[in-house]
A and B are shown apart, each in its own frame.
Chain A
């Protein structure tokens, strides 16, 4: 079975500071990994995804994430936070090779950005 753990339910940074949101996963097969962002009262927007190939993936709005198999991690980073980055972020895993695309999500991390 797959599972996702997001370390830190709340992260607070100053505008211009580094953003680091942590995600660890458990999967019995090579995982496909995703980060989604959710703004208040909205659905989920895809930020970036890892399927195969390059382990450092770049997404929208300056975010990137690195797949580290040895650490079973897929942490999300952004060099310089902007006020508009304030939202809730979800890491998700889908197991490759299944016949259907069930996503298993973490509990989410709320990012607050201070001026």
Chain B
């Protein structure tokens, strides 16, 4: 059974650029949640996708957007990057929207 995978592992962008992060959910899981973890902080909920629809959203601006595909993999898109967007982005998958979440290794984004 394959766990949650994320790509790329590291990414460097400049302010104002756009970035796409990818996540493959664990086999059999139809829900993906995204979190942002700034240095020295706990993860913060960005949004969740369930069966290809956004199912809940945290306190993040609209320039953070996402997609979920029919195979339940997901993308996180961030437009107009800001320096404060530098963080570890974590993806978690679960069997259903309210079930236990299992995390991937994360993508570390640095915005210069």
Contact = CB atoms under 8 A, between A and B. Distances in A.
Interface string A87-115: 00010101010111111111110000000
B16 interface: no
Given A44-B103, A45-B103, A100-B56, A105 B98 contact: no
A44 B100 CA distance: 13
12 contacts: A36-B103, A43-B90, A43-B105, A44-B43, A94-B98, A98-B98, A100-B55, A101-B97, A102-B45, A103-B35, A103-B43, A103-B92
Interface of B: 4, 6, 31, 33, 35, 40-45, 48, 50, 55-56, 58, 90, 92, 94, 97-106
Given A46-B102, A103-B33, A103-B45, 11 more contacts: A43-B4, A90-B43, A94-B98, A98-B98, A99-B97, A100-B97, A101-B56, A101-B98, A103-B35, A108-B40, A108-B42
